[in-house]
Structure 1
Amino acid sequence: MDVLFFYFIRSPVIQLEILHHYLKHFKYYTARISVEPGNVASNIMMKKCIEMHQKVIKFVDIFNENFSNIMVLDFVQSSLRLASICVVITMTESVTVSSFGFTLIYLWISIIREYYIYHSGNEIIFLSSELVHSVYETDWHEENRQFKYMVAMFMVRAGKPLNIKIGPFGSLGLPALLSILRASFSYFSLVTGTQQL
């Protein structure tokens, strides 16, 4: 299940990186387009970039619509998982070296999983907000009026960064990962505090 989940979160990142590549090497890709009479290659390439951006926006919107509540469950489940692993490490009395090692490895893998997911969410926010700069770096001022209009519309759309939502609580990013770690510590403190009573 995690593999599918990773794909859904990583897919917009990859598409945004490709879009950045196209915009940064705009002249190269424009030169590779064979143009029909009356069409301008730069207009065709910009239309392709706009379509690609719209597909990414649609993907993120569909993901948020369908998986926003599941992201809340993953947030809570991740906090509880990390807290329970820490409780097992600290509260187990007869620990063998191998079981302690396996528990530490499981804790490490769980932290890496969370980092990978929330870092990818952070990349979506960052890459989508940087699209404005990438499209501005094209030689738009040397192009025709239609191209300039397309660039302006692209910049308006790219002005609002994309993000994956964690229900009504915020967006997927590194601040949310810190919230998971804080919640895990709170759960851990609660459990160890009640055990000592």
Structure 2
Amino acid sequence: MLLRDIFPKNEHFRVTMYSCSILGLWPFVFPKNPLYQKMYFRYSKFIYIFTWLFLSTYVVQLIKLLLDEVIFVEEIMRNVSITAIQSLSLIRAYALKSKRSKNMINEVLSTEKRILGSQNSGVIGIYNEFAKKNNSFITIYMASMVLDTCFFVIYPLCAPPIEIFYPTRNETVTKRMLMLSAWFPFDEQKHYMAAYLFQFSCGPITEFYIILSDALTIGLVIYAIGQFRILNELFANFDKYAIQVQNQLKCSKEEACLTALRECTIMHKKMLSFIDDFNDVMGNIMVLDFLQSSFQLASIVLQVLTTKVTLINFLLGFQFALSMVMRLLIYYWCANEIIVESSRISVSIYNSCWYEQPEVVKKSLLLLMQRCNKPCTLEIGSFGIMSLETFISIMRATYSFITLIYNVNNEK
């Protein structure tokens, strides 16, 4: 079976498409084979349910740690840092399986066919530029997260055992660390190798769910930036675009200008609808992401601060924190670019010598210019908008969490 019989041809989602299909997150597979498609969707559900079940072991272990006689701060921080982001990735994955998400992905696929089939080299160049950016960002992010997974695998083999003293029992218990802070229905210390091998085989699946759900979401956001950049290009060079339309349709200049304006207006309306759909699907999830990000980052840093300083502890904490900051920076930088590019449309129209256009086109451009004064934004539910300013506020909140928890722990 050829690759084109399994996946649609698409450059923007090239890396994301193949990667997401591994865990059943890519919605469009086997278009010509309903039987394989049905089997793939069942596989997707199985992986999704399995990941939720595996996540439940983190939650049970967190409850046990909080109810334990001795508060094991390091282990609690390890648990929280993974549980928070893993829960969010599964919620995001569920949202990406919705009909509206599939429609957004399908719009990217159809738009690429239309753009690459056009004769506008400037538009094609911009589209390819952002397709490459998307693939590059996702590849770098995936590589960073895979490195995290490698550190988690190596960590139990290098980390020294932890001794915990229980006053009521007058007993010191030695615990060997595992890859993840998870509950087992047996004594994981007595059967340490079995517990380690189980996490070694199943843990990476849950880790990759984080990577792939983010990859698909980021791809949608970067697509929106590229489309707004294309709109800026078309409006800034409106005369050239109209001449190209005139040559293709063999019509008058006024008809060509009206056709070019209609195409740009339709494209702008589609992008407004695309952003609205994204906010409706992801808005509440972004609220959860925003609320947990600071505490999660603080948990990672506190692991390093509250444990014995060793090379493996430092490398694991540093790399994990770096990956999570990179993840947030990609999201909020892309959201900020949508604000910048969408707000530039009115400036591009103004710089396009709109006053030299036919009267009916001139009036339409003026109306569109006024309509574009309000930038498009990705929303954090009803809390606010995603931007670099919001990213900085997350970093500040992270510092506050670290200071507060670290000082409280030291006082104890």
TM-score range, shorter chain: over 0.9
Shift of residue 26, structure 1, vs aligned partner: 2.2
CA distance in 2, matches of 1:46, 1:115: 35
The counterpart of 1:15, out of the listed 207, 220, 227, is 227
1:124 aligns with 2:344: no
Q: Letter of the 2:316 partner, please give it.
A: F
Higher relative contact order (CA 8 A, sep 6+): 1
1:31-64: CA deviation from partner (whole Å, max 9, x where unpaired): 2212354662122111111111111111111112
- Relative to its length, the structure with more helix (as a share) is 1
Where does residue 96 of structure 1 map in the other structure? 310
Counterparts of residues 1-197 of structure 1 (less than 5 Å): 1-33=213-245, 34-35=248-249, 37=251, 40-93=255-308, 95-197=309-411
User: 1:78 corresponds to which letter in structure 2?
Assistant: S
- Letter in structure 2 aligned against 1:193: N
SS of the residue aligned with 1:161?
A: coil
Equivalent AA in structure 2 for residue 6 of structure 1:
I
User: CA offsets per residue over residues 82-141 of structure 1, 9 Å max, x none?
Assistant: 111110121111x33133123212211211111111111111111111111101111211
Counterpart amino acid of 1:30? A
How far 1:163 moved relative to its partner?
0.6
Is the Cα contact below 8 Å between 2:304 and 2:313 reproduced in 1? no
What is the one-letter code of the residue matched to 2:289? Answer: D
The percent identity for this pair of structures is 32
Provide the alpha-carbon RMSD of the alignment: 1.6
Matched residue SS, 1:149: helix
Q: CA deviation at 1:171?
A: 0.5
CA distance in 2, matches of 1:7, 1:102: 27
Whole-angstrom CA distance in 2 between matches of 1:65 and 1:109: 27
Deviation digits for residues 136-183 of structure 1 (CA, Å, limit 9, x no counterpart): 111211111110122022112201111111122210001110111122
6-15 vs 37-46, which moves further: 37-46
For the residues of structure 1 that align with 2:399 and 2:272, how far apart are their CA atoms? 35
The gaps in structure 2 that reach 5 residues or longer are: 1-212
Give the 3-state SS of the residue equivalent to 1:32 in structure 2: helix
Please give the alpha-carbon distance, in whole angstroms, between the structure 1 residues aligned to 2:353 and 2:255: 14
| Structure 1 pair 37–13 and aligned structure 2 pair: CA distance change class (3 A) | closer
Measured at CA, do residues 20 and 103 of structure 1 come closer, stay the same or move farther in structure 2, by a change above 3 Å? same
Q: Secondary structure at the match of 1:31?
A: helix
State the distance in 1 between where 2:368 and 2:249 align: 22
Which structure 1 residue ranges, 5 or more long, are not aligned?
Answer: none
* Matched residue SS, 1:171: coil
TM-score (norm 1): 0.92
Point out the structure with max Rg over C-alpha.
Answer: 2
